[in-house]
Amino acid sequence: MEKYFYLVILFPLIGFLVNGLLGSKMKGTTPGLIGTVAVFIPFLIALGVFFNYGHESQPILQNYFPWINIFDFQANFSILIDPLSLQMTLIITGIGSLIHLYSIGYMHDDEGFARFFSYLNLFIFSMLLLVLGSNLLILFIGWEGVGLCSYLLIGFWYKNEDYGYAARKAFVMNRIGDLGLIAGIVLLWSYFKTIEFQAMAIHAANVDMSDPVIIIATLCLFIGAIGKSAQIPLYTWLPDAMAGPTPVSALIHAATMVTAGIYLLVRAHFLFDLAPSVLNLVSYVGIATSIFAAIIALRQNDIKKVLAYSTVSQLGLMFVALGVGAYTTAMFHVTTHAFFKALLFLGAGSVIHALHGEQDIRNMGGLKNEIKSTYWVFLIGTLAICGIFPLSGMFSKDEILTVLFEKSKGLWALSLFSSLLTAVYMFRLLFLTFFGTYRDDEHKKSKIHESPMVMMAPLWVLAILSVFGGILNLPHLIGGESYGKMAHFLDPIFSHSKLATEHMDAGLEIGLMALVVGLVVIIGFVLYNIYVKKESLPKPDMSLRGVEALVANKFGVDELYDTVISKPVLGISRFFGQKVESAFDGISGFFFVAGFKSIGNSLRKIQNGNVEFYLILMTGSIVVLMILQFLIKI
Amino acid sequence: MQYIFYTLAFFAILCALFVVFEKNPVHSVLYLILTFFSIAGIYVLLNAQFLFIVQLIVYSGAIMVLFLFVLMLLNLNKDTEPQKSVIFKTAGAIAAGSFLLVLVAVLKDTQQSTELSAMTDIGLVKQLGKTLFTKFVVPFEVASILFLAAMVGSVLLGKKELY
Amino acid sequence: MLMQINHIVPIEHIITLSCILFCIGVMGVLLRRNAIIILMCIELMLNAVNILFATFSAYNGNPDGQIFVFFIMVVAAAEVAVGLALLVLIYRNTRSVDVSLLDRLKW
């Protein structure tokens, strides 16, 4: 099975080429089917490899061809199959194929149907390259490819100028992170003289703690991760990225792309273990992002924006877990988050589809009875993300909280606050959307319709995964294996890790869980009272005052960046463009331009288009060349 | 023996000059055929009997007849070709002359292989055929593709309704 | 008629003959304006090279040179076919085979 693993990467690429080159000529849903199959087959292959991969199996390095080989720099085009990349591959292809299937229904009457699927396949291809690459350079190809695809997909409806702007914003923000990643790669290469993960891990074992080069390199990698995984200060692109079609949001901005940063940190954990100060920074950035985004989410009225900020917040939590060295826990949350966030986004897509493009939750309400199926899956997603027992989100989030409780009480308290905020904005979203009465025109209500089967099927699969996803890594005290299945599976990767988490008192663990679940349930009831019983509504944008207005305006971070960074840079550019350049033009124009112009004027007469003249010139030059060679030989 | 060679060489050069300086294109073609005949004679002296035959059939026969056909077809058998300006003519002659000088100067130093072969039958069909179909079989097959392409190309170009 | 030419004619003389023929070809290309003559002169140059190949083949006792002559003839035949077809096309458009009229390479 491992022999055919290259097909995992190849199939999405073929799908991209077929859809991209021939898609416009195909009829009906053919491009969608091709795209879905091109992702589903890799999923099956990865599944086969996964079941063959025992705990004792060695990581498989598959070397396809030497790529760059200059002096002592060597980069092969090779992939590394180990538990970590295998798990990521399963998430990407599994959730990816569900989202592809869903998109067939969601995008069915869009004129760019084939284009959409070719982009999606290209995205899956890049993401697979990112997680499977055995060295930093292959990872970097995938990293850039993912950035490109997010640009293409966010700006998919390119005729809308705002969407194009959002796409550009995502691209530019990602570039800032990419610069960090490039610097990190170069630094690591100059230090280790290799960019292969396995070789670096072996070398890293002999490196001192807090080696300055390692600290700077990990810092650079972390900047890359900040860009891709939308952390403070580079998070603003993610909420704006909701401009793309909803399946794109689910695929790129919830399930896969944003986890690239997490993946990078986990993959390079042997370096981060050597730099405790950077790990601390990771935690602080993570917790700050988590709370900050959660607060913003409280005041958003666009169904997708709420989910977007919740993604940023959850990613922050994962970074906190990474920061304290709980890599497995972070990966577990990545997995469950992929399940329920994809579910929520696709569910939101189903709501939008049902309401023919309406995204403002103030114009919804009472949809529980209109679109029952969507309501149920959305409810499951909400409960899962809030962490209600026994859904998947509860296990992963509680694992993070438990680890934090053990490492640092302060971080634990802040994370708990953040996850309670999660419950608040998610219940608010749920109640405002599905409960109460419909708040828009009656004649629009009559047009509401449930989404087709092709969209609901993936939703139900994701719902089941969201419910039972916790089984993947059951804690010991609820009948799990000694310390979690997934932890056991991922364990070989972290054998070098010096920050293994030991286990705590079972009673305390249960107590913590009960505390969180209890608080979430209380929040749920309070909000039910506010939004359903009293039917209070978010105020119109204009009437907001003070802090509320600030929060609704996302703390004005976009405006802040605009005034602090964009405007000065633009001003400087304008100054150089208009004043300095023209000054140089004046000086150089005087000396050089005139000179070159006259030379050019005289030389261009040679280019007269006359064949005979060219022939004579040619013969003459051959003669001159031969004479030169003749002379040089002597 | 060597007189045959020098006679043929002299004849070839003379006819080649006539090719260039003859006004009437048809005469030029005929002189070129004579040049090719002399070259074919030199091939015989060089023990390249197969090349001798091919030279006669392909060059003097097929290719030159093609030239004649085109000339007749386009009705160009009059000496109405406009002359080039004197500058172009002198420039061309000087360029060609210096080219000759340089060529001869360069090739004069050719090192002759010390090992003089006694093999005199390498130019026979049997020998050449063996080499052609063993060592050079791939280029030989590729050449057929080239011919096919040339054939298709010239038919396409020659079609009336190209545009 | 099998004989050893390398005993009677020095190789330099054959090389010189080949060079002279080649340069006559070059001269023809440069001096004439009739495209058909130019094509013929190119054939002449090819033949000059062929003589060189055949000579070295005979003087070294290696048949490879003659094979090359054979391939050059193949290419020459193809080239003439396509070249003449192009000429006919040019003639159809300009009513002439004068290369001086083809001065639009600039664009």
How crowded is the C-beta side of A29, counted as CA atoms within 13 Å?
14
Q: Do A628 and A591 belong together in one domain?
A: no
The answer to whether residue B70 scores a pLDDT higher than 90 is: no
Let me know if residue A580 belongs to a domain.
Answer: yes
> What number is the average pLDDT over the span A291-319?
88
pLDDT score of A14 = 92
Let me know if residue A224 belongs to a domain.
Answer: no
A370 versus A297: the higher-pLDDT residue is A297
pLDDT score of C107 = 57
> Which tokens sit at A559?
């405006």
Let me know if residue A525 belongs to a domain.
Answer: no
Contact between chains at A630 and B106 (C-beta distance less than 8 A): yes
Please give the mean pLDDT across all residues of chain A: 83
Contact between chains at B99 and C98 (C-beta distance less than 8 A): no
Smallest CA-to-CA distance from A297 within A420, A196, A403 is with A420
**Helix axes B2-21 and B25-45, enclosed angle (nearest 10):** 160
pLDDT score of B47 = 83
pLDDT score of A122 = 92
Residue A337 and residue A396 in contact, taking contact as beta carbons nearer than 8 Å: yes
Residues paired with residue A68 on neighbouring β-strands, in sequence order: A75
How far is it, in rounded angstroms, from Cα B130 to Cα B122?
A: 10
Q: Do A589 and A621 belong together in one domain?
A: no
pLDDT score of A453 = 84
Q: Do A594 and A583 belong together in one domain?
A: yes
A144 versus A440: the higher-pLDDT residue is A144
Contact between chains at A615 and C103 (C-beta distance less than 8 A): no
The pLDDT tens digits of the residues spanning A183-235 come to 999 999 988 888 888 888 888 888 888 788 889 999 999 999 998 888 888 88
Q: Do A4 and A15 belong together in one domain?
A: yes
Q: Do A615 and A582 belong together in one domain?
A: no
The pLDDT tens digits of the residues spanning A581-593 come to 888 877 877 777 7
Q: Do A591 and A626 belong together in one domain?
A: no
Contact between chains at B91 and A616 (C-beta distance less than 8 A): yes
The answer to whether residue A439 scores a pLDDT higher than 90 is: no
Contact between chains at A619 and B103 (C-beta distance less than 8 A): no
Q: Which of A607, A612, A616 sits opposite C100 (nearest CB)?
A: A612
The answer to whether residue A140 scores a pLDDT higher than 70 is: yes
Q: Do A559 and A634 belong together in one domain?
A: no
> What number is the average pLDDT over the span A468-496?
64
Q: Which chains touch B (3 or more CB pairs under 8 A)?
A: A, C
Q: Which chains touch C (3 or more CB pairs under 8 A)?
A: A, B
> What number is the average pLDDT over the span C14-20?
89
pLDDT score of B78 = 66
Q: Which of A239, A260, A281 represents a domain boundary (last residue)?
A: A260
- Enumerate the residues of chain C whose CB falls inside 8 A of the CB of residue B32: 40, 43-44
Q: Count how many domains chain A has.
A: 3
C-alpha distances (whole Å) from B90 to each of A605, B22, B85, B86, C30 are 20, 18, 9, 6, 10
> What number is the average pLDDT over the span A305-312?
89
Contact between chains at A612 and C30 (C-beta distance less than 8 A): yes
Q: Is residue A390 reached through a cis peptide bond, with omega within 30 degrees of 0 on the bond before it?
A: yes
CB pairs under 8 A between A and B: 24
Contact between chains at C36 and B76 (C-beta distance less than 8 A): yes
Q: Do A154 and A121 belong together in one domain?
A: yes
Contact between chains at A622 and B92 (C-beta distance less than 8 A): no
Closest Cα of chain B to A626: distance in Å?
A: 7
pLDDT score of B84 = 67
Contact between chains at C100 and A615 (C-beta distance less than 8 A): no
Let me know if residue A617 belongs to a domain.
Answer: yes
- Enumerate the residues of chain B whose CB falls inside 8 A of the CB of residue C91: 74
Which residue from A minimizes the CA distance to B100?
A623
Q: Which of C37, C77, C88 sits opposite B74 (nearest CB)?
A: C88
pLDDT score of A544 = 65
Residue C48 and residue C18 in contact, taking contact as beta carbons nearer than 8 Å: yes
Q: Do A241 and A164 belong together in one domain?
A: yes
Closest Cα of chain C to A615: distance in Å?
A: 7
Does B145 contact C at CB distance below 8 Å?
no
Let me know if residue A102 belongs to a domain.
Answer: yes
List of domains in chain C: 10-97 (1.10.287.3510)
**ipTM of this complex prediction, to 2 decimal places:** 0.88
Note down the domain range covering A585.
553-601
> Which tokens sit at A307?
């989910």
> What number is the average pLDDT over the span A438-455?
77
pLDDT score of A500 = 44
Considering only residues 605 to 634 of chain A, which have any Cβ-Cβ distance to chain B shorter than 8 Å? Answer: 612-613, 616, 619-620, 622-623, 626-627, 629-630
Does B90 contact A at CB distance below 8 Å?
no
Contact between chains at C100 and A611 (C-beta distance less than 8 A): yes
Let me know if residue A318 belongs to a domain.
Answer: no
The pLDDT tens digits of the residues spanning A3-62 come to 788 888 899 999 999 988 888 888 878 888 889 999 999 999 988 888 888 766 788 888
The pLDDT tens digits of the residues spanning B90-117 come to 888 888 888 888 888 777 766 655 555 5
- Enumerate the residues of chain B whose CB falls inside 8 A of the CB of residue C30: 88, 91-93, 95-96
> What number is the average pLDDT over the span A132-160?
89
Let me know if residue A481 belongs to a domain.
Answer: no
> To which H or E segment does residue A258 belong?
none
Let me know if residue A105 belongs to a domain.
Answer: yes
How far is it, in rounded angstroms, from Cα A177 to Cα A165?
A: 19
> What number is the average pLDDT over the span A558-573?
83
pLDDT score of A12 = 92
Q: Do A101 and A171 belong together in one domain?
A: yes
Q: Which of A95-104, A287-296, B95-104, C65-74 has the lowest mean pLDDT?
A: B95-104
Q: Do A93 and A155 belong together in one domain?
A: yes
The answer to whether residue B143 scores a pLDDT higher than 80 is: yes
Q: Do A561 and A632 belong together in one domain?
A: no
pLDDT score of A498 = 41
The answer to whether residue A302 scores a pLDDT higher than 70 is: yes
